[in-house]
Amino acid sequence: MQKMLTLTAALTGLVLSGCATQSSNSFQAFQADDLNAQVKSGLLVQKTNSFFVLNDSSSSMSKTYLNSADYSGTKLDVEKNLLNKFNHTIPDITLSSGLRSFGYGPCTDWSTSHLNQPLQSYSTSGFESAITSLECSSGGTPLAEAVEAAKGDIASAPGNIALVVFSDGMDETSPVPAAEALKAQYGDRLCIYTVWVGNEADTAGQENLQSIVDTAGCGMATDVNAISSAAGMSNFVKQVLFKPGNPVPDCSQLDEDHDGVNNCLDKCPDTPTGAMVDNHGCWSYHGVFFDFDSDKIKDKFHPLLKNAVEVMKLNPSLTVEIQGHTDSVGSVGYNLGLSERRANAVENSLIQNGVDDRRMTTIGFGKSHPAESNATEEGRAYNRRVEFIRTDR
């Protein structure tokens, strides 16, 4: 009888520990989708601040992964390839990350799980070292114990947490109670994501993985085929780390006031309909409206003022401030008075052409508001200008 008990114990230990199967650290060539532009534009908004991986390193993962044109080798090799793809698809955001493997025997230091990388600031190279530390697979599949251990692993995790499980799901005991306890501790901060890495004989494991996702109440359950491609993996990374956002429009492609100057360059973004604008998008007439030391509008500039009259008629609720400006030649006081007289002259011209004077005010700025450098004749000519600033908004 004693011999029988000894033999039974020995066989049980052999089953639990298994023979450790070594894994390859050679990864598939992979060109990840670049998600940085979507993050920068606001199309993707970060929702997760920390992710922690539980990786199945039990003896069942030493079996060859079958029926896949994408992978050869063991199921553990497949897990590591997927983790590598996940790692290289993560865009440039601030994260914390860590990894724990579960099984039994030499691959997990003769414990049901092993902390391969404590929670730390995430980097691509740093997390790659965690992946390559998954050297072998052995023993049973104690996912429940790994989930229990994760309660302490993520205790210092900032913000929202994603627990990401890679496994065939062929657990020895249900992981649901451990998942319930984990969820109770971290509440809405925690979501669970699972990746089924199994063969046809392991389909029951999909239900086990789905059950802990359901327990968390948020996250998703997926499988190898869904996330193997660049597009599939980028979608998975989006699901785990991001939520949809409102993208920041490209201002160079927008012209909201329809004046022909895009929003990036438009310094006057509310130009009224029909206004003649300068290269800054402002309703402004540059050049010499007046002879030197004169406030009489030269005849050749009357077509420009006609445009101003048309704009006022096209926009009957529009009110404006007519601003006069000069170049830097002359004293401050003299230019201030000259700019005021010229603004008044433009207002009088509009009144004579039927614009109600109650819709207009005038002001002179002299040489205090140059639009271009006064160091050149071209710049000084550009600064001798009259601007119309709407005051109805």
Query: How deeply is 301 buried, as exposed, middle or buried, from its count of CB atoms within 10 A (0-12, 13-18, 19+)?
Result: middle
- Say which residues have a Cβ less than 8 Å from residue 390's Cβ, sequence separation at least 6: 270, 271, 272, 283, 318, 319, 320, 321
Q: Three-class SS of residue 142?
A: coil
pLDDT tens readout for residues 253-281: 888 888 899 999 999 988 998 888 888 89
Residue 95 shares a structural domain with residue 188: yes
- Determine phi and psi for 28, rounding to 5 degrees: -60, 150
Strands (E), 34-154: 44-46, 50-56, 96-102, 113-121, 136-137
pTM of the model: 0.65
Amino acid at 75: K
Among the candidates 202, 225, 244, a domain finishes at 244
Q: What gap in Å lies between CA 55 and CA 52, rounded to an integer? A: 10
pLDDT tens readout for residues 44-76: 999 999 999 999 999 999 999 997 888 889 999
Q: What is the model's pLDDT at position 19? A: 62
Reading across the β-sheet that carries 96-102, which strands appear in turn?
Answer: 113-121, 96-102, 50-56, 161-167, 190-196, 219-223
Q: What is the mean pLDDT of the chain?
A: 90
Q: What is the model's pLDDT at position 13? A: 39
Residues 315, 316, 318, 319, CA torsion sign: positive
Among the candidates 188, 214, 244, a domain finishes at 244
Structural domain count of the chain: 2
CA dihedral 234, 237, 241, 246 (to 10 degrees): 20
Among the candidates 244, 269, 291, a domain finishes at 244
Q: What is the model's pLDDT at position 2? A: 37
Domain of 208 in residue numbering reads as 23-244
Residue 267 shares a structural domain with residue 351: yes
Residue 262 shares a structural domain with residue 203: no
The predicted model gives 319-335 an average pLDDT of 93
Q: Using an 8 Å Cβ cutoff, are 179 and 192 in contact?
A: yes
pLDDT tens readout for residues 161-209: 999 999 999 998 999 999 999 999 999 999 999 999 999 999 999 999 9
Residue 47 shares a structural domain with residue 175: yes
pLDDT band at 111 (very low <50, low <70, confident <90, very high): very high
Q: What gap in Å lies between CA 154 and CA 168, rounded to an integer? A: 23
The predicted model gives 308-318 an average pLDDT of 93
Residue 213 shares a structural domain with residue 258: no
Query: Angle at Cα 371 formed by Cα 368 and Cα 374, nearest 5°?
Result: 75
Q: What gap in Å lies between CA 258 and CA 252, rounded to an integer? A: 13
